[in-house]
Structure 1
Amino acid sequence: MTARHRVRVTRRLPEAVEARLAAQYDVVVNQPDIALSATELRDAMREFDAILPTITDRIDADLLATSGRRAALIANYGAGVDHIDLAAARAAGIAVSNTPGALTEATAELAILLMLMAARRAGEGERELRAGEWTGWRPTHLVGQSLDGCTLGLIGFGRIAQGTAARARGLGMRILYFSRSPAATEIEAALGASRVDTAEALMAEADVVSLHIPGGRATHHFVDAVLLAKAKPGAILVNTARGSVVDEAALVAALAEGRIAAAGLDVYENEPTVSAALLASPRTVLLPHLGSATKGAREAMGMQAVDNLDAFFAGRALPDRVA
């Protein structure tokens, strides 16, 4: 009997995904479902043919240079790969794949949820009600704003941003976007989207700004105090991308001075730690990284990761290779 390839899975996955892995591989799943330590990851690099990690695993150059390394593939569960040193992986001859597309619809939906909650002050209302502080309906109580007729500015215009734009159009929003490259004319036409030349121009015009850029050094603190100062007074900021793209201290200051009216965040600079200042700000809606958290999306992500494992060990091209 031919020995099966060994695969280390760093977090619990949907049941159907784990069952498929178990049927095809000699797989070890992280049953406690707590992020592996650097030592455990290093051991996995030595003992397994492939690693199936998530965003909670920091795979840096030092880890990739593990002596006696056996792992030849990192099949990431998730679209973002800023937790993996891709240059070091290439240098070490380790293939890296991700799972783009599977989480598009779920994350776009969550971006809209955050916009609506922030605009209509839903988070404030729920906190007040649960604290027993609601005294009843009155005309001036927690008055928010409608998104109908507002301008949505998207920073980044990939799959998730485009999915967000499509949903925002249904709410009657006008769509602007900023990205390094223009989208195809037919995509702009279908979404009624117009490209602006700079992030500063977008900030000045948008009532709601939604972030859709990858993490990493190139985008670290992309939204900083300087950019926030360009925002249209009373704008709303939404982030379902990566926490590192926002300077949280600058955002807290912008919220305090009213330059930014509200923020809806699903990701944070130092996850799972959330800054006390953000937690204390009354005009924030804060979610625990739920962008892809639908049954369908999480299962599809896992199946896509296994598709990459299958292709690699069959000697085929990786469907979703990033390094």
Structure 2
Amino acid sequence: MKVVAVLYKAGQAAKDQPRLLGCVENELGLRQWLEGQGHTFVVTDSKEGADSVLDRELVDAEVIITTPFHPGYISRERIARAKNLKLLVTAGVGSDHIDLTAANERKITVAEVTGSNVVSVAEHVVMTILTLVRNFVPAHEQVMAGGWDVADVAKDSYDVEGKVVATIGVGRIGQRVLRRLKAFDPAEMLYYDYQALPADVEAELGARRVESLDDMLAKADIVTVNCPLHESTRGLIDKKLLAKFKKGAWLVNTARGAICVEDDVAAALADGTLRGYGGDVWFPQPAPADHPWRTMRNRFGAGNAMTPHISGTSIDAQVRYAEGTKAIIASYLAGDKSYRPQDLIVIDGHYATRAYGSDKK
């Protein structure tokens, strides 16, 4: 059996930190295990174009592993060329880089390591909110450049306490974000989702469901996106929806870059519709050098809080998703389909029936 993994190159960082498992050099810790059973294991970061290693090796691959952080986009065309393909694994959470319809048609199993990133992403959301609201990035840039102008930073620095916080999506990550933010004593916490939380969970979180997204955005000082990417959320946050936001709100997106229209977000920052944007996710990934989010500024000329999709790949998360990837492949090799039900996206030509949290990132 041939297994192909598309990971990112880490260079010296992989030597410095052996638990940086999601990289080419450390190979999710799978090589010895797979080769010890007689399997071929190909690991690469080359994923673009007809001459890529991925395109060359997928032809006879039985299992392909990708990650959300350096995604190998598994298109219908690639699936058609992968005649032996039986299993697609996301080492992490989120399979929107895979053509699930094409996988279903071929009865290819698609699985991901559900829950491996939820704590890591929720912590990153809280960090980003504080970074934006307290105007941290301009303060840091100022002192690193040798400056000392308290007023220039303080003029746009606020507290989370007393603000209205809202999440689009309140699944595994969204709930954890609200739970952590409750300690900051916001004025109100709101959520928008296709279904309501149980009453006892709402009471514990101190959160209230709003049935109209427009109404929620008009009230919110801080908006965090914690929903999956699918056809109804692709391009959701566009010029039209941004016009519904409370003037000067902060927006944080750790879900998927394609949920936001990149040029519309940049324009909303420039005209003051948004006070700041904290983005960990981009489209495509890696983002091109001229992506507008790399250089966009708010109305004060300040930068935002941008990171290269690291929220779900802390060292602790990498250990979890590496172990989960191994478990998924072990279930496949056993031939008994003993997968964790929550890890399955599609199997046997159908979407899996499972409790699918609304922020399955």
Does the TM-score normalized on the shorter chain lie above 0.5? Answer: yes
- Which amino acid letter does the alignment assign opposite residue 57 of structure 1? G
The answer to whether the Cα contact below 8 Å between 1:255 and 1:283 also exists between their aligned partners in 2 is: no
Q: 1:46 to 1:181 in 2, by over 3 A?
A: same
The corresponding residue for 1:321 is: 344
- Which amino acid letter does the alignment assign opposite residue 240 of structure 1? T
* 1:91 aligns to 2:109 (yes or no): no
Q: 1:306 to 1:256 in 2, by over 3 A?
A: same
SS of 2:88's equivalent in the other structure is strand
Pick from 160, 169, 185: which aligns with 2:173? 160
SS of 2:345's equivalent in the other structure is coil
In the alignment, the residues of structure 1 paired with residue 266 and residue 42 of structure 2 have an alpha-carbon distance, to the nearest angstrom, of 39
Structure 1 unaligned residues grouped into runs of 5+: none
How far does residue 116 in structure 1 lie from its aligned partner after superposition? 0.5
The corresponding residue for 2:148 is: 135
Worse-matched range after superposition: 20-29 or 43-52:
20-29
* 1:22 aligns to 2:36 (yes or no): no
- Which amino acid letter does the alignment assign opposite residue 203 of structure 2? A
The corresponding residue for 1:10 is: 6
Q: 1:143 to 1:267 in 2, by over 3 A?
A: same
How far does residue 79 in structure 1 lie from its aligned partner after superposition? 1.1
Q: 1:113 to 1:146 in 2, by over 3 A?
A: same
In the alignment, the residues of structure 2 paired with residue 140 and residue 20 of structure 1 have an alpha-carbon distance, to the nearest angstrom, of 48
Pick from 75, 81, 85: which aligns with 1:66? 81
Q: Deviations over 1:273-314 (max 9, x none)?
A: 262365131242111111113111011011111111111111
* 1:82 aligns to 2:96 (yes or no): yes
Structure 2 unaligned residues grouped into runs of 5+: 9-19, 347-361
The two structures have a TM-score, normalised by structure 2, of 0.81
The answer to whether the Cα contact below 8 Å between 2:248 and 2:273 also exists between their aligned partners in 1 is: yes
- Which amino acid letter does the alignment assign opposite residue 160 of structure 2? L
The corresponding residue for 1:288 is: 308
In the alignment, the residues of structure 1 paired with residue 252 and residue 101 of structure 2 have an alpha-carbon distance, to the nearest angstrom, of 30
In the alignment, the residues of structure 1 paired with residue 272 and residue 225 of structure 2 have an alpha-carbon distance, to the nearest angstrom, of 20
SS of 1:280's equivalent in the other structure is coil
In the alignment, the residues of structure 1 paired with residue 295 and residue 252 of structure 2 have an alpha-carbon distance, to the nearest angstrom, of 16
SS of 1:28's equivalent in the other structure is strand
SS of 1:9's equivalent in the other structure is strand
Pick from 198, 204, 207: which aligns with 1:193? 207
The answer to whether the Cα contact below 8 Å between 1:118 and 1:283 also exists between their aligned partners in 2 is: no
How far does residue 137 in structure 1 lie from its aligned partner after superposition? 4.0
In the alignment, the residues of structure 2 paired with residue 59 and residue 277 of structure 1 have an alpha-carbon distance, to the nearest angstrom, of 25
Q: 1:18 to 1:291 in 2, by over 3 A?
A: closer
The corresponding residue for 2:350 is: none
* 1:42 aligns to 2:55 (yes or no): yes
* 1:149 aligns to 2:149 (yes or no): no
* 1:279 aligns to 2:295 (yes or no): yes
How far does residue 16 in structure 1 lie from its aligned partner after superposition? 7.6
Pick from 216, 235, 238: which aligns with 2:252? 238
The answer to whether the Cα contact below 8 Å between 2:238 and 2:260 also exists between their aligned partners in 1 is: yes
In the alignment, the residues of structure 1 paired with residue 123 and residue 116 of structure 2 have an alpha-carbon distance, to the nearest angstrom, of 13
The answer to whether the Cα contact below 8 Å between 1:152 and 1:176 also exists between their aligned partners in 2 is: yes
In the alignment, the residues of structure 1 paired with residue 114 and residue 255 of structure 2 have an alpha-carbon distance, to the nearest angstrom, of 13
The answer to whether the Cα contact below 8 Å between 2:63 and 2:87 also exists between their aligned partners in 1 is: yes
How far does residue 239 in structure 1 lie from its aligned partner after superposition? 0.3
How far does residue 135 in structure 1 lie from its aligned partner after superposition? 2.9
Worse-matched range after superposition: 98-107 or 177-186:
177-186
* 1:120 aligns to 2:130 (yes or no): no
How far does residue 143 in structure 1 lie from its aligned partner after superposition? 4.0
Q: 1:43 to 1:270 in 2, by over 3 A?
A: closer
How far does residue 228 in structure 1 lie from its aligned partner after superposition? 0.8
Q: 1:83 to 1:41 in 2, by over 3 A?
A: same
RMSD: 2.2
The answer to whether the Cα contact below 8 Å between 2:123 and 2:177 also exists between their aligned partners in 1 is: yes
How far does residue 90 in structure 1 lie from its aligned partner after superposition? 0.6
Q: Percent identity?
A: 26
In the alignment, the residues of structure 2 paired with residue 305 and residue 194 of structure 1 have an alpha-carbon distance, to the nearest angstrom, of 36
The answer to whether the Cα contact below 8 Å between 2:46 and 2:54 also exists between their aligned partners in 1 is: no
The answer to whether the Cα contact below 8 Å between 2:253 and 2:281 also exists between their aligned partners in 1 is: yes
